[in-house]
Amino acid sequence: MQANSHYYAIIEQMTEGNMWLNDTVGVIPKNAWAIDPFGYSPTMAYLLRRMGFENMLIQRTHYELKKELALHKNLEYIWRQSWDVDETTDIFVHMMPFYSYDIPHTCGPEPAICCQFDFARMRGFMYELCPWGEHPVETNQENVQERALLLLDQYRKKSTLYRTNTLLIPLGDDFRYISIDEAEAQFRNYQMLFDYINSNPSLNTEAKFGTLEDYFWTLREEAERINHSLPGEIGSGQVGGFPSLSGDFFTYADRQQDYWSGYYVSRPFFKAVDRVLEQTLRTTDMMMAFLLGYCQRAQCEKLPMGFSYKLAAARRNLALFQHHDGVTGTAKDHVVLDYGTRMHTSLQDLQIFMSKAIEVLLGIRHEKNDNNPSPFEPEQVRSKYDVQPVHRAIMAREGTKQSVVFFNPLGQTREEVVMLIVNRPDVTVLDSNWTCVQSQISPELQHDKSKIFTGRHRVYWKASVPALGLQTYYIANGFVGCEKAKPAKLRFFSKSMSISCPTPYACSKAEVDVAEIQNRHQILTFDVNHGLLQKISYKNGSQNVVGEEIAMYSSWGSGAYLFKPNGDAQPIIEAGGQMVISEGPLVQEVYSYPKTAWEKSPISHSTRIYNGENTVQEFLIEKEYHVELLSQDFNDMELIVRYKTDIDNKRIFFSDLNGFQMSRRETYDKIPTQGNYYPMPSLAFMQGSNGQRFSVHSRQSLGVASLKNGWLEIMLDRRLVKDDGRGLGQGVMDNRAMNVVFQIVVESNISATSNPVSNPLPLSPSLLSHRVNAHLNYPLHAFIAKKPEELSVQPPPRFFSPLAAPLPCDLHIVSFKVPQPLKYSQQPIGDSRFVLILQRQNWDSSYCRRGRSGCTRFADETVNLFYMFKELSVLNARATSLNLLHEDTDMLGYTEQFGDVAQDGRVLISPMEVQAYKLELRPHK
């Protein structure tokens, strides 16, 4: 689904499906057909082009936009990416012109007439009759002339909207062609009509059945013969005679003010699970590739090969959820249950495999038999498909240590403040060399106003994990040589009730109106009465107003698809909630359980800032909202958080498309609130004329708007009683308790930038933004030893560091995997059985100062695939399409140097490009 899906999932889904098609029926698709996504993203156009597709067909775009394009005969156009100056991303697009894709809305502009040519609506079939009152009748010799001319008149009218003499009339609908009789009725009647038309030369028409391929082939042939260009038009070298356009098709409206921006947020719990499954699958793929790459004997293939069926199932379960009623949150409850259960099952399978794989990669045991349980278990566990994961607590008994292993799925070394839960506070952290590590202990908090403290503790320390590698740490109790974790100091702010101080913390109660927390870079000021963030001040004396507001829309017509609010959102936080500040050397946190009109607040939230040199965390503010729209109290309500800043953005902001590129958004008075909402799969930012930039990064798909100058609001959850008449047949009432995490970055630029007001092109994220995004969306995976060990036993250093050097800072590994694990052992060794997909990020260099900490190399220099790994040789690397099916890379539109990798292994990628390579791996002798 093009608004909510991440580009990683789109590539995975397309590759899985396209390879299946090729293996099963020997077909490699070239034409994309997508009539039912609710709006369209240029990311899809880019990925399809780089997969060797030539043409796309789309349908659901704003009715006013269809009208505008039809007026200038631009419904067929060349879609070009906004950054592309060399026409390398061009793909031909056919947009259907009318309201729907069914037969009444495809033969021509008058549905009452077209419906009479849907012969499955004749009496005797199970489908509904025509709602316009005139029903189809069997064609015969008596009526064929009158029927054919009536139909041909619709075709003629439709043809005036397009430039060419080739016209496409789709013939179908949802849940059709389910019987031979039905197919036969359509074919029999149409053949008779076509025979009449074709046998009358005076009608000047040839009508015939054909495939989408036939249509595009005929159209391109005509475009070569006849030039349909309009004067002064910028076209494309790909196909002559059509305009080239850039941009996206959000937000979709099908009539009046019915904007489909509700589904950006519907079922946010599962939108979050989707992304967890993605990052877990991506990491599993990497581990599988390493296991097979380092292994040259049948014994060590047992573990990965035994898992290959479950890995294939996980890819397909993720792919299935990308459907336009899956990740959108627009499925019926029992279908949501099926999606959720599939994703949950796959998550558990992947985690079990990862637990076993790290044991082998750390060299603890090489011949891992699949039947032995692993000594490790994932640090987070989900008991059920529809609940949040919980952290496993480490039981640190006196005189023991428990090992913790982190996997870093990024191509760069990672310095990061990490957190684990322990049952007892008196612990010490050691690294794998048995060296003391500074750590902090804080109480674990929860969404429960009568019991904010759970009785467990969070231990924090700064971990360093190699690129694509593993690192071990130990949580010890009773280790004499090291300082214990330092307890945070707690401050309580509560008018209503007293909070009891948990052991072993020092607590104080404060009677003030404002409170602060700070690190090396920033000071955060809070309104204590409401527990909300007020402003950020910087050590250089400057400051930003960030009035945090939590509010509710009440709605009159909202449903799973549509957002239809009554007026503006109303703030729900009243004075007098509870607030706890915990401050330690590594993390400062403000926790707020606010007072609202309801006995149980629908939301509580934390704000965290971090200390830790060389981490990206020092520069960000982390917001975690715990949301529970669980009771009837919240029926027909939609919950938002709004940041009211002093950034003069003129209601212009930028939101991402598929986690891949940014799009410029402008708020218009002439369209309602719901039409000014946009998808936010992972990032939105505002920029002022002075270059100040306020960015919010998300680890899941939501919806975003900037309704007033300096405001950025994000919808968190929605609970809706009514069906909104778009086919679902129910409301959305199956809300789950969930946590939404944002990371906020405020930056000021160091050189003159383009003005977002006058520049129609999207701006790019800063380098820091890209790094924050990567850390949030590809978190460290933590595994805990199931059994504690005696402190007296000192194991050798256990780590895994496969890269010869970290990759350049702006080079992202989209995936590193064995694409067909089920076939791995049958493929000849000489084959390229591994795939590496890389993306070079485009970043706004006028914001480079802070993001560069720890960055030494950038991807404007070549990377050599042959020498990428330490103990693995890369053999016969060759460039391939993103769906892995085309070796002839000229047809994919890339610039020249892409195909040359086989000679010297050197790779140079232009900013924004995603490139795939097939390779073979061998361990060094």
Active-site amino acid positions = 36
Is 573 within 8 Å of 555 (Cβ atoms)? no
- Angle made by CA atoms 562, 548, 595, in degrees to the nearest 5: 90
Task: List Cβ<8 Å contacts ≥24 apart for 520-529.
Answer: 520/611, 520/618, 521/618, 521/619, 522/609, 522/621, 522/746, 524/590, 524/607, 524/609, 524/621, 526/579, 526/590, 526/607, 528/493, 528/579, 529/495, 529/575, 529/576
Q: Check whether the bond before 251 is cis (ω within 30° of 0).
A: yes
Dist CA 530 CA 579 (whole Å): 9
Dist CA 375 CA 364 (whole Å): 10
The secondary structure element, H or E, covering residue 156 is helix 144-159
Residue linked to tokens 């799009």: 663
Q: At what angle do helices 268-294 and 7-25 cross, to 10 degrees?
A: 60
Phi, then psi, of 850 in degrees rounded to 5: -75, -35
Q: Which of 319, 318, 385, 314 is nearest to 353 (CA)?
A: 314
Phi, then psi, of 290 in degrees rounded to 5: -65, -45
Is 529 within 8 Å of 576 (Cβ atoms)? yes
Q: Which residues contact 568 (CB under 8 A, 6 or more apart)?
A: 553, 673, 707
Q: Which of 14, 781, 838 is nearest to 353 (CA)?
A: 781
Longest dimension (CA), the chain: 102
| 8-state DSSP, 732 | B
Residue linked to tokens 């529809």: 386
Q: Which of 556, 662, 672, 533 is nearest to 608 (CA)?
A: 533
Q: Which of 625, 771, 763, 774 is nearest to 693 (CA)?
A: 763
The encoded tokens of residue 472 equal 């071990």
Beta strands in 565-646 (DSSP E): 570-571, 574-583, 587-595, 603-610, 620-627, 637-645
Q: Which residues contact 178 (CB under 8 A, 6 or more apart)?
A: none
The encoded tokens of residue 404 equal 């913790």
464 bridge partner residues? 415
Residue linked to tokens 């909207």: 161
